[in-house]
Structure 1
Amino acid sequence: MKIKLFAFIVSIFFIYTASAIKITFLVPGKSNEDFWVTAAEFTRAAAVELGFDYEVLYAERDRENMIDLVYKIASETNKPDFVLIVNEKNSAPQMLKILNNNNIKTFLVHVDLTDDQKKVIKYPRSIYKNWIGTVVADNVPAGYQIMNEMYKNIPENLKSKKMFKLIAINGDKETKTSLEREKGLYKFLNENKSIQLLQIIAAEWDRDIAYQKTNHMFDRYKDIDFIWAANDPIALGALKAVYNHQKLPGKNIYIGGLNWSKESLEEIKKGTISTSLGGHFINGACAIAVIFDYLKGIDINSSNYEMKINFFSPIGKKEVDEYFKYLDKSNWNKINFKKYTKFYNKNLKEYKFNPKEILKDYK
Structure 2
Amino acid sequence: MIKKLFVAMAFSVCSVKVSAADSINVLFVNPSLPGEPFWHRVQGATEAAAEQLGIRLNVIYGEGNRIIQLSELTKYLNYRATPDYVILINYPGGAEESLRLLEKYEINHITLEQTISGPEKLAIGNPKEIYKYWLGELHHDNDKAGYVLAKQLYLQAKSKGHKEIYPVAINGHYGTESDIRSGGASRFFAEVGVALQQTVYAGWSKEQAFEKTKKLLSRYPKTNLIWCASDLMAMGALTAAGENNNRAVFGGFDWLNDTFELIRDDDLHASVGGHFMMGAWALVSIYDHHNGHSYWQNNSELAFDLMVLTKENLDSYHWIKSAKNWHSIDYKAMSLIDKPDARYQFSPKLLRKTRQN
1:317 counterpart SS class:
coil
Residue 237 of structure 1: how far off its partner (Å): 1.0
What is aligned with 1:354? 347
SS of equivalent residue, structure 1 residue 222: coil
Query: Percent of aligned positions with the same letter in both sequences?
Result: 30
CA distance in 2, matches of 1:245, 1:212: 12
Q: CA deviation at 1:317?
A: 1.5
| Aligned match for 2:254, one of 244, 252, 259 | 259
User: Contact (CA 8 Å) 2:170, 2:229: kept in 1 or not?
Assistant: yes
Change in Cα spacing, 1:359 to 1:288, as seen in structure 2 (3 Å) is farther
Counterparts in 2 of 1:43-54, with a 5 A limit?
A: 43-54=46-57
> Matches of 2:199 and 2:217 in 1, distance apart?
13
Give the C-alpha shift of residue 58 in structure 1: 2.1
Give per-residue Cα distances to partners, 1:143-183, cap 9 Å, x unaligned.
01111111112354625x2x4211111111211x1232122
CA distance in 1, matches of 2:50, 2:95: 23
Amino acid at match of 2:250: I
Query: Following superposition of structure 1 onto structure 2, how do residues 47-196 of structure 1 map, counting pairs within 5 Å?
Result: 47-156=50-159, 158=161, 161=163, 163-175=164-176, 177-193=177-193, 195-196=194-195
Comparing 200-209 with 322-331, greater Cα deviation is found at: 322-331
**Which structure carries more helix by proportion?**
1
Match of 1:227 in 2: 226
Task: Letter of the 1:168 partner, please give it.
Answer: A
Question: Are residues 39 and 172 of structure 1, via their aligned partners in 2, closer, same or farther at CA, if it must alter by over 3 Å?
Answer: same
Residue 4 (structure 1) aligns with: none
Q: CA deviation at 1:347?
A: 6.5
1:192: how far off?
A: 0.7
Unaligned stretches of 5+ residues in structure 2: 1-19
- Name the amino acid aligned to 2:66: R
| Runs of 5+ unmatched residues, structure 1 | 1-14
The total of aligned residue pairs comes to: 337
- 1:314 partner SS: strand
In structure 2, what is the equivalent of residue 198 of structure 1? 197
When normalised by structure 1's length, the TM-score is 0.86
Kindly state the Cα deviation for residue 57 of structure 1 after the two structures are TM-superposed: 1.6
Displacement of 1:216 after TM fit? Answer: 1.7
Q: Give the letter aligned to residue 167 of structure 1.
A: V
1:228-266 deviations in Å (ceiling 9; x for gaps): 101101111111111221213xxxx11111111121221
Offset of residue 16 of structure 1: 4.4
Match of 2:301 in 1: 306
1:90 Cα offset (Å): 4.5
CA contact (8 A) 2:234 2:250 kept: yes
Structure-2 change in CA distance of 1:334 and 1:265 (3 Å): closer
**Does the C-alpha gap of structure 1 residues 73 and 111 become closer, same or farther in structure 2, counting only changes over 3 Å?**
farther
CA RMSD in angstroms, aligned pairs only: 2.3
Aligned to 1:34: 37
* Higher Cα Rg, which structure: 1
Q: 1:90 to 1:328 in 2, by over 3 A?
A: farther
TM-score, scaled to structure 2:
0.87
| Bigger Cα displacement from structure 2, 259-268 vs 228-237 | 259-268
